[in-house]
Amino acid sequence: MSRIRQQNVFAAQWTPNGGALGAPDLTVADNQIFGENVFSEVVQRQRLPKEVYKKLSTTLAKGEALDTSLADSVALAMKEWALEKGATHYAHVFQPLTGLTAEKHDSFYAPTGEGTALASFSGKELIQAEPDASSFPTGGIRATFEARGYTAWDPTSPAFILENPNGALLCIPTAFVSWTGEALDHKIPLLRSMDALSKSASRALKLFDKEVSRVFTTVGPEQEYFLIDEQYYFERPDLINTGRTLFGAKPPKGHELDDHYFGSIPERVLAYMLECERELARLGIPIKTRHNEVAPAQYEIAPIFENSNVGSDHQQLTMQILQNVARRYGLVCLLHEKPFAGVNGSGKHNNWSMGTDEGENLLDPGDTPHENLQFLFFCTAVIQAVNKHQGLLRASIASPGQDHRLGANEAPPAIISIFLGDELEKLFNAIESGAAGQSTPESFLGLGTPVLPPLPLHGGDRNRTSPFAFTGNKFEFRALGSSMSLGLPNTVLNTIVAEAIDYLAEELENELGAGKSLEDALRPIIQRSYAANKQVVFGGDGYSEEWHAEAARRGLLNLPSTPDALPYLISEDTVTAFSNYGVLNERELHARYEVFLEQYITRLNIEAETAASIARTMLLPAAVRYKAELLAAEEPELASELGELTSDFIEVIRALESANLKENHAEDDGPLVHAQYMHDTVFPAMGAVREVADRLERVVADDLWPLPKYSEILFIK
């Protein structure tokens, strides 16, 4: 069977009208559909009683607790709106610690007892539900007490309608808590961390003569993904079971030619992207850019930034839409961090900033001396936070998929450092060394200049090797994995920056209290903080050997694997910061630590068993059959060459199978030791099997090789 020839048939089967929902109507202008499936503020204003709407929007703007008496009104309006949109069911949507989205559907209709049914949906049902979710990971939180967790409406993230060819569903964003009030999800800590940062930043802004009612953190994620023909997907049990290929020789054509990056987008793919964007627009998710990525068959999509909570919910939804729509085009969207060995993996750039409720971006340098001072203050806080909590930041992005990318010269290294850009780094160095004429009255922190030189807004990827880069008016945390929820990394960023802001604000309050001008008060604070934290600032090539040596000299953490990183989730510094700010208590942190270790173990175990099974039941038979063919064709030399490779193969398969044996897993030594065993023993055993398998792929007759090859999967669109 030549799959290449067969493939042209699959690609040709796709037509613009082939999707299950029919072709999107591309004649309707985007502004007519934007947000049409969202229970947005506009809809709320139209449909809620005036009083209710007013109360609701003021509580939300202030980030206060909701008056539950409003719920019945909101529920009624929401139900009517949803029924008009064709919804028959509603679901509380939540984000358990698996990092995925979960939902339980309930019908609006309840039988009346007279043979009819009535649509009902009360405030109580809006506010709270008890999903039968006892099998979501909790890290022991629920088991200790009682197996009860409930979902609670998050009114700060708008409800929306998800359409299906056969009906529609009202989705209500919710938080997932244990009955003791402990967070079982990614949303609650994110919301708590946003509150924490808002308090700290508002306090600091007072010192810059600004009264604000709220500061929001913002997020704009750039999402990378692969698109492959679904036929190949179904022929690869490894992709189906693990999301990545466990076998596959490097194709003769990789991305050496760089002909894919920003190249023209193939028609089927573009049609797919347009439909995704249309669906996202209807859900009120504004898409900003799309383009080809570095690797063949790899693409990127980025929305316009939003506040962290809504942005993070929208990111979950985007991943879901990317995957759902792909199937309408005979494609599969792979979100795994490393679907193909030897080919660039996928990440997610987490653009992050802080902004006031009036829209002022606190990481925008501005053009007046006053704005500049404020910018430097907040920027210093970020540097201090990232340096102090390097390990925690690294832990917040740890996953098995990430272990393939970080430090593999395609993604940032596993060492956390900050790229400030030449101009800003020079400026901080000058402030630190107390450079030029401090006495000039109009001098800017003693630099002899009243305003910052304009900092170039980041164009393109200027330093792609840095995990954490200042890009003109925001920081870009570039080390996230493509399949990850934004929840934890943003929770960490918000919390540690809140802590640093408070630390610096207290110093500034003291200096100002001594009667100094803002400039004079700020200078020594920035000097001290930068001197103590500049070890984390690095503008060079993060991929280079020299940097690894230099980082070690500086004492920066280098945590290459998930088991190396996760313990920082429960380190003393983490526990202190997270409990001081009420983001996660020690138990909640431990729960996450245990859940993430368990997930790591489970996922590696699935990979190892899938690898062993494919090797033994698909690849080994192919090799043996081909050997028999060679012998029958009187090619003893070729047959004996293959015979040697086959014996090697049997040996490494047996080693992997033995590494997989339960009794070798050291389970009794606790999850960390178990995770280390998976990393140190099982993972290399899989690698050894793959190494021989990939050599076999190059010599076994193509018509006998049971798995589609990289050259087919990646290059046929």
- Are residues 371 and 455 in contact, defined by beta-carbon separation less than 8 angstroms? no
Chosen from Mg ion, ligand ADP, none, partner binding at 289 (C-beta under 5 to 8 Å by type) = ligand ADP
State whether residue 347 is helix, strand or coil.
Answer: strand
Instruction: Please give the residue ranges that form the binding site for ligand ADP (CB under 6 A).
Output: 218-220, 222, 288-289, 302-305, 349, 351-353, 361, 460, 473-474
Which is closer to Mg ion, CB of 338 or CB of 349? 349
| Residue, CB closest to ligand ADP | 220
State the binding string over 219-238 for Mg ion (x if CB under 5 A, else -): ---x----------------
Which is closer to Mg ion, CB of 192 or CB of 349? 349
- Residues pairing with 38 in the sheet: 160
Which is closer to ligand ADP, CB of 99 or CB of 355? 355
From 346-354, 524-532, 629-637, 677-685, span contacting Mg ion (CB under 5 A): 346-354
Q: Is 278 in the site for Mg ion (CB under 5 A)?
A: no
- Smallest gap, in angstroms, from Cβ of residue 349 to ligand ADP? 6
Which is closer to ligand ADP, CB of 252 or CB of 460? 460
Chosen from ligand ADP, Mg ion, none, partner binding at 95 (C-beta under 5 to 8 Å by type) = none
- Are residues 562 and 403 in contact, defined by beta-carbon separation less than 8 angstroms? yes
Handedness of CA 15, 19, 25, 29 (dihedral sign): negative
CB burial of residue 451 (10 Å; 0-12, 13-18, 19+): middle
Give dist(CA 406, CA 413) in Å, integer.
5
Residue 23: φ, ψ to 5°: -70, 145
- Smallest gap, in angstroms, from Cβ of residue 464 to ligand ADP? 9
Of 713, 669, 490, 705, give the one whose Cα is nearest residue 1. Answer: 705
Task: Give the position of tokens 């591309």.
Answer: 26
From 97-105, 216-224, 290-298, 380-388, span contacting Mg ion (CB under 5 A): 216-224
Which is closer to ligand ADP, CB of 156 or CB of 231? 156
Binding residues with Mg ion: total (CB under 5 A): 2
CB burial of residue 20 (10 Å; 0-12, 13-18, 19+): exposed
Q: Is 474 in the site for Mg ion (CB under 5 A)?
A: no
| Residue, CB closest to Mg ion | 349
From 160-168, 349-357, 439-447, 650-658, span contacting Mg ion (CB under 5 A): 349-357
Give dist(CA 105, CA 87) in Å, integer.
11
Chosen from Mg ion, ligand ADP, none, partner binding at 269 (C-beta under 5 to 8 Å by type) = none
Give dist(CA 283, CA 280) in Å, integer.
5
- Smallest gap, in angstroms, from Cβ of residue 303 to ligand ADP? 6
- Smallest gap, in angstroms, from Cβ of residue 486 to Mg ion? 14
Strands 331-334 and 347-356: unpaired
Q: Is 338 in the site for Mg ion (CB under 5 A)?
A: no
Handedness of CA 343, 346, 347, 348 (dihedral sign): positive
**In b/e form, how buried is each residue of 516-536, taking b as 16+ CB within 10 angstroms?**
eebbebbbbbbbebbeebbbb
Which is closer to ligand ADP, CB of 266 or CB of 286? 286
- Smallest gap, in angstroms, from Cβ of residue 221 to ligand ADP? 7
C-alpha neighbours within 13 Å on the C-beta side of residue 275 = 23
Among 336, 349, 665, 674, indicate the residue that binds Mg ion (CB under 5 A).
Answer: 349
Chosen from Mg ion, ligand ADP, none, partner binding at 578 (C-beta under 5 to 8 Å by type) = none
Give dist(CA 494, CA 122) in Å, integer.
35
- Smallest gap, in angstroms, from Cβ of residue 215 to ligand ADP? 12
- Smallest gap, in angstroms, from Cβ of residue 539 to Mg ion? 17
Chosen from ligand ADP, Mg ion, none, partner binding at 353 (C-beta under 5 to 8 Å by type) = ligand ADP
